[in-house]
């Protein structure tokens, strides 16, 4: 049984159809990269899976259960955690206090504050610092750590490297690589195509709200994904049909 199945999912922003009939699946412990240009629908898709954006059509099945009508809190209690774009930390709370907020999901497991500090060593010295004083890399580590404190089975990561320096991104991806051994499945939105494909066993590319290409990363060339990313395959097909 798949951990997550998304079936013909549609989501809207008013009259704009942001997600159009997307179907995908994620196995337990799998890391999947979700790539695409700005406006492709990646963030809306993640938020809809997590319950933070309403479903217009289709359904989301998690651990064999249709959770399409479940609240974000109920989905978190089942083992799904979202690291949102922009991190959304509580700036006036400390790193430790931000991490402790995740206990509201009511899930127990191996992820504790000490375990998060071991996974993200750059947070150890900043444990009692206010989140608003952290660097971008420290904020992202805190946001991921907060999600891990929910002891999730599926981690939804939105824009992993956005706004971070290359050095900080290198460190962050090294830490994410170590997370794979913990058995947490990850669906990871990333605009850096090269980095995303290096980290994931499977890659899904979105274009204009729909899946343009997907498959095992090892079976896809960067050129194929790049063409899908910019809609070159679609443009070529339209030209041939004229």
Q: What single string gives the DSSP state of each residue in 116-130?
A: HHHH-GGGGGGTTSB
CATH number at residue 110: 3.40.50.300
The number of C-alpha atoms within 13 Å of 180 and in the hemisphere containing its C-beta is 14
Give the helix/strand (H/E) hosting 195: helix 193-199
The separation between CA 240 and the C-alpha centre of its own chain, rounded to angstroms, equals 36
Q: Which two tokens stand for residue 72?
A: 């974000």
Query: What's the token pair of residue 94?
Result: 């400390």
Model confidence pLDDT, tens digit, residues 124-159: 999 999 999 999 889 988 998 999 999 999 999 998
Whether 84 contacts 76, CB under 8 Å: no
Q: Which parts of the chain register pLDDT below 50?
A: 236-242
The confidence score (pLDDT) of residue 242 equals 47
Residue 212, H or E segment: strand 210-216
Q: What is the pLDDT of residue 202?
A: 96
Q: What is the pLDDT of residue 236?
A: 47
What's the pLDDT tens digit per position in 66-95?
999 999 999 999 999 999 887 789 999 999
Edge-to-edge strands, sheet with 31-35:
80-83, 154-157, 185-189, 31-35, 202-207, 210-216
Alpha-helical (H) ranges within 111-241 are 113-119, 136-148, 166-179, 193-199, 222-229, 232-241
- Quote the tokens at residue 164: 């971070």
The residue segments making up the domain with residue 73 are: 4-241
Number of domains in the chain: 1
């Amino acid at each position: 049984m798949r951990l997550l199945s998304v079936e013909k999912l549609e989501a809207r922003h008013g009259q704009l159809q942001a997600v159009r009939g997307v179907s995908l699946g994620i196995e337990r412990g799998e890391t999947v990269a979700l790539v695409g240009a700005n406006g492709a629908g990646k963030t809306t898709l993640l938020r809809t899976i997590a319950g933070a954006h309403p479903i217009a059509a289709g359904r989301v099945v998690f651990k064999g259960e249709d959770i399409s009508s479940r609240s974000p809190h109920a989905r978190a209690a089942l083992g799904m955690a979202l690291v949102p774009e922009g991190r959304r930390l509580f700036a006036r709370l400390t790193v430790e206090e931000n991490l402790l907020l995740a206990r509201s999901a009511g899930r127990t497991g191996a992820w504790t504050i000490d375990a998060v500090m071991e996974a993200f060593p750059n947070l150890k010295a900043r444990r009692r610092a206010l989140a608003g004083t952290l660097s971008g890399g420290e904020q992202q580590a805190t946001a991921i750590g907060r999600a891990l404190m929910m002891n999730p089975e599926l981690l939804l990561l939105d824009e992993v490297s956005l706004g971070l320096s290359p050095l900080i991104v290198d460190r962050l991806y090294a830490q994410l690589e170590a997370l794979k051994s913990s058995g947490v499945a990850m669906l990871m939105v990333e605009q850096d195509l090269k980095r995303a494909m290096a980290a994931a066993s499977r890659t899904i590319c979105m274009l204009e709200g729909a899946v343009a290409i997907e498959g095992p990363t090892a079976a896809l060339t960067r050129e194929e994904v790049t063409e899908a990313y910019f809609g070159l395959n679609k443009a070529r097909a339209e030209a041939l049909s004229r």
